[in-house]
């Protein structure tokens, strides 16, 4: 079932996201002894990371928290466009998480090799007999074109049904990305979209209220077995009829 939560602004969105993060983390640790979360890149996730680090550094057992990434650009980890660098600066270096609990995509390598290595890393953390990993929480953003993670409109990765992580060619940007695949995302216990700003409003309306067209709007393909929350601010939700 899809939940739509509309907040006044990005700050309120970040507070709500931090509350959800804390709740899922505590429940996961209580039930399974650990909490596995995949982070997203982007401006809104940065604000969410900052809220989590400011409010929850002393509130959670970070030794039992394991951080992953939904996608990455083919850049070194210290590059300004690196999702890992953004997460490190806004969250990871501000909380007492053991370094070995942070699993970044080795994006300084060839994208194909990086995808293979990251999948091998995931398989070590989520061992057989799992056909796909089951994350406790995956944070996702959404682009103005309706993409999520690095699953872009009409890109090859949208058809992947077996691999956990792939290199995805984005012709419009003339670049490759490394991304989790839809089968992985859709097995998560909790998926939370973080969407803010008026520029996202047209795509959000199409994704949530338009006819099914997942090749054009990949975010429509995110239909997890667990809980799906769209956490959006008022500006992003401005065109929705059913808000």
| Chain segment 65-80, per-residue pLDDT in tens | 999 999 999 999 999 9
pLDDT in tens, 178-234: 999 999 999 999 999 999 999 999 999 999 999 999 999 999 999 999 999 999 999
Cβ-based neighbours of 93, under 8 Å, separated by 6 or more: none
Instruction: Give the strand pairing for 175-180 and 165-170.
Output: antiparallel
Instruction: Give the strand pairing for 175-180 and 71-72.
Output: antiparallel
Domains of the chain: 2-233 (3.40.50.1360)
The continuous run of DSSP H or E covering 104 comes out as: none
Question: Is the pTM higher than 0.75?
Answer: yes
Cβ(40)–Cβ(72) below 8 Å: no
CA-closest candidate to residue 121, choices 133, 111, 138, 136: 133
- The residues with which 66 forms a beta bridge, in sequence order, are 36
pLDDT in tens, 11-30: 999 999 999 999 999 999 99
Q: What is the pLDDT of residue 194?
A: 98
Determine the Cα–Cα distance for residues 168 and 85; give it in Å rounded to an integer. Answer: 21
Tokens in use for 176?
């490759």
Q: 186 to each of 18, 90, 182, how far by Cα in Å?
A: 22, 27, 6
- E strands along the chain, which residues? 2-7, 35-39, 65-69, 71-72, 137-140, 165-170, 175-180, 190-195, 227-233
Determine the Cα–Cα distance for residues 222 and 123; give it in Å rounded to an integer. Answer: 22
Read off the DSSP letter of residue 232: E
3-state helix/strand/coil string of 125-194: HCCCCCCCCCCCEEEECCCCCCCECCECCCCHHHHCCCCCEEEEEEHHHCEEEEEECHHHHCCCCEEEEE
């Amino acid at each position: 079932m899809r939940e739509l939560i509309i907040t006044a602004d990005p700050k309120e969105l970040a507070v709500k996201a931090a509350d959800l993060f804390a709740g899922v983390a505590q429940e996961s640790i209580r039930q399974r002894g650990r909490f596995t979360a995949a982070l997203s890149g982007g401006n809104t996730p940065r604000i969410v990371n900052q809220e989590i680090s400011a409010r929850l550094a002393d509130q959670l057992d970070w030794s039992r928290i394991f951080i992953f990434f939904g996608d990455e650009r083919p850049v070194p980890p210290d590059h300004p466009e690196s999702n890992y660098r953004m997460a490190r600066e806004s969250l990871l270096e501000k909380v007492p998480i053991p370094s070995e609990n942070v699993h970044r995509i080795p994006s300084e390598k060839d994208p194909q090799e990086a995808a293979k290595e990251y999948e091998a890393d995931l398989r070590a953390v989520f061992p057989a007999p799992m056909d796909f990993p089951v994350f406790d929480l995956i944070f996702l953003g959404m682009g103005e074109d309706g993409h999520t993670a690095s699953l872009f409109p009409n890109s090859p990765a949208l058809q992947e049904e077996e691999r956990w992580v792939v290199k995805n060619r984005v012709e419009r940007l003339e670049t490759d990305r490394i991304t989790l695949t839809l089968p992985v995302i859709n097995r998560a216990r909790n998926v939370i979209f973080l969407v803010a700003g008026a520029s996202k409003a047209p795509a959000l309306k199409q994704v949530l209220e338009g006819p099914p067209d997942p090749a054009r709007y990949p975010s429509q393909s995110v239909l997890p077995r667990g809980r799906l929350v769209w956490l959006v601010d008022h500006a992003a939700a401005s065109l929705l009829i059913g808000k």
